[in-house]
Amino acid sequence: MSKEQFPQGWDEARVKNVLKHYEQMDDDAMIADDDAAAELKGQTLMVIPTEYVSAVRELIERKTSA
């Protein structure tokens, strides 16, 4: 059995808290959360093909760790 790996600064408890937060949201709260995210300065939301998600994550990781 392999040990789970979390991003730096994350652990199992943090992941569970985030999941609990989103699982308890109703539809209106989820929509409001998405709308607020779209308004963040310095951030861009975009749709990409699922097959490219891992490549995009790798690019972001390389950029942020450089």
What does the domain layout of the chain look like in residue ranges?
Answer: 12-65
Q: Which pLDDT score is estimated for 1?
A: 45
pLDDT band of residue 66 (cuts 50, 70, 90) is: confident
| Residue keyed to tokens 């209106």 | 28
Residue 20 reports pLDDT greater than 70: yes
Of 44, 37, 48, residue with least CA distance to 29: 37
Tens-digit pLDDT profile for residues 48-63: 999 999 999 999 989 8
Percent of the chain with pLDDT over 90: 64
Q: What CA–CA distance (Å, rounded) separates 28 from 7?
A: 30
